[in-house]
Chains A and B, each alone.
Chain A
Amino acid sequence: LTETPSPARYKPPATETNPALEDPTPDYMNLLGMVFSMCGLMLKLKWCAWIAVYCSFISFANSRSSEDTKQMMSSFMLSISAVVMSYLQNPQPMSPPW
């Protein structure tokens, strides 16, 4: 079924408005990461800070390419700083909850 192509049409509406509606994971993870790193910094909880690092990694993995890298980087830096600060203040190793 080879068709004679009519004049080539224009741009894709490829940049749909839907991406924001479809997958909220990166945004949630970003927010969660920031909340955890704040908790880790204020309450000096090491496990909070580690979870924050994980959250920011997950947010990065799920992010859309159109998304702002600055936000990603800032959340990542915040979580790393939370971990570092927790260890500087209290060099003891983390104790497991059990």
Chain B
Amino acid sequence: MKNLYIFVAVLFIPWSFSLAKYDEFEDGDDIMEYDDNDFAEFEDVNEDTVTESPQRIITTEDDEEEATVELEGQDENQEDFDDADAQEGDTESEPYDDEEFEGYEEKPDASHSKNKDPITIVNVPAHLQNSWESYYMEILMVTGLLAYIMNYIIGKNKNNRLAHAWFNTHRELLESNFALVGDDGTNKEATSTGKLNQENEHIYNLWCSGRVCCEGMLIQLKFLKRQDLLNVLARMMRPASDQVQIKVTMNDEDMDTYVFAVGTRKALVRLQKEMQDLSEFCSDKPKSGAKYGLPDSLAILSEMGEVTEGMMDAKMIHFLTHYADKIESVQFSDQFSGPKLMQEEGQLTKLPETKKTLLFTFNVPGSGNTSPKDMESLLPLMSMVIYSIDKAKKFRLNREGKQKADKNRARVEENFLKLTHVQRQEAAQSRREEKKRAEKERIMNEEDPEKQRRLEEAALRREQKKLEKKQMKMKQIKVKAM
């Protein structure tokens, strides 16, 4: 019994600590409950529960973390309890002695029922917890950013390596065919830089020039955006390949007038919709090239049959069949002006400028997972480009073909003029009115009355002359009609 008293006294110490800590509790009732619960808990004699201090009971309900933190703090006290417990083991398991706890009998029983009331458990706000683990969202974010940066560096380097591998493979062929290989437009003189021009982390340019028949050749290595993690993830859903785009600008005298394209069906359908020249001159749907021995994957878009006949010679067919998987599209056009421009009606006053061009789009094998070695397989395609340049120069339409071609071009121009006729008239009218207004203003602004009169007279004379000219024209027309 004495030991029991000692034990109770010892229990007082942490209990008073808990009181101090939970001073903020305005609820007097709560404290009262603790008071009773303290002894009530003690009643439900159980070694484990007894060793727990009240504050632990309250705070360790939910958070395991809390439990460990708080428990650690209580380690010292626990030792005391342990000693007491060892001794009290026997007596605690017994129901309490009636003699000793007479006064308390009622209260503990009464408070037992109250014990069933839910204990308000306080969730310690996260920022008071002082543990790094509560900031897991932030850590996640920072990890994401680091992953992005890592991917950026890795992707950038890979693209760089691929570009240089391509260039090293093709350098010899290019240098043997072109006098100027590599130019970034900054030098005053046209000297070969012999280097790729990096536009982006995924686009590299190379300008070659100095060859007969062509003005120049622009090669664009359009790699996948390996440096952008979002793009990498998007590509996991939808695989895509790196592309090499070659645009050869021909001299005017070195190419005849025709529009011709060959490539994968899908690419041609898209180009026919997008490209100004293909949509205007090649009205038919892409035709299969099986007639010429091309694989099924390739189709042909042509202005007229004669062009197709002329283009599909043995060597070209050989190129196209052997490297069909790498060819996306090949376009020869004398009316090339790029994709259709979405202009407002009022702005269309002139046909877009055209240039004689050969366009090649090749897919790099590997569909995304390319290695620098794959670049070697593109070398024959460059030979095809060179061959095409020479072919384009040599190929001439016969008389019939030329007539048809000229007719086509005239037709397109006429259509365009018809469309814009109204706009052009309006534009001319407004210009004339502007001029008149400007003149009138000048006359009005003249302070000197003399000058004013003279200017007015000059304007009148000009108008009279115009009227006379018109009358003359009308007379001439009448005479001709007669």
Contact = CB atoms under 8 A, between A and B. Distances in A.
Contacts of A64: 199-200
20 contacts: A2-B177, A3-B211, A3-B212, A5-B178, A5-B211, A6-B179, A8-B209, A9-B215, A10-B209, A12-B183, A12-B185, A12-B207, A14-B183, A14-B197, A54-B145, A57-B148, A61-B201, A65-B200, A66-B199, A92-B127
Interface string B105-138: 0000000000000000000011100000011111
Contact of B179 (A1, A8, A92, A95): A8
B191 to A, nearest CB: 8
A75 to B, nearest CB: 15
A69 B31 CA distance: 64
Interface of B: 125-127, 134-138, 141, 144-145, 148-149, 152, 176-180, 183-185, 190, 197-201, 205, 207, 209-212, 215-216, 218, 225, 227-230, 338, 386-387, 390
Interface string A35-53: 0000000000000001001
Given A1-B386, A93-B137, A9 B210 contact: yes
A32 interface: no
B230 A58 contact: yes
A18 B220 CA distance: 13
Given A61-B201, A91-B127, A93-B127, A12 B218 contact: yes
A52 B185 CA distance: 36
A12 B199 CA distance: 13
Contacts of A95: 137
B134 A14 contact: no
Interface residues of A, number: 34
A54 B138 CA distance: 13
A13 B144 CA distance: 40
Contacts of B135: 93-94
A83 B148 CA distance: 18
Interface in A1-34: 1-15, 18-19
Contacts of A11: 183, 185, 190, 207
Most buried by B among A1, A6, A14, A57: A14
A66 B190 CA distance: 22
Contact of B212 (A6, A8, A10, A58): A6
A56 to B, nearest CB: 11
B130 to A, nearest CB: 11
Contacts of A6: 179, 210-212
Contacts of B205: 12, 14
A40 B119 CA distance: 38
Which 10 A-B residue pairs are closest in the complex by CB-CB distance? Answer: A5-B179, A12-B207, A8-B210, A9-B209, A94-B137, A93-B135, A8-B180, A5-B210, A61-B228, A8-B179
A57 B199 contact: no
A96 B126 CA distance: 13
Nearest to A64: B200
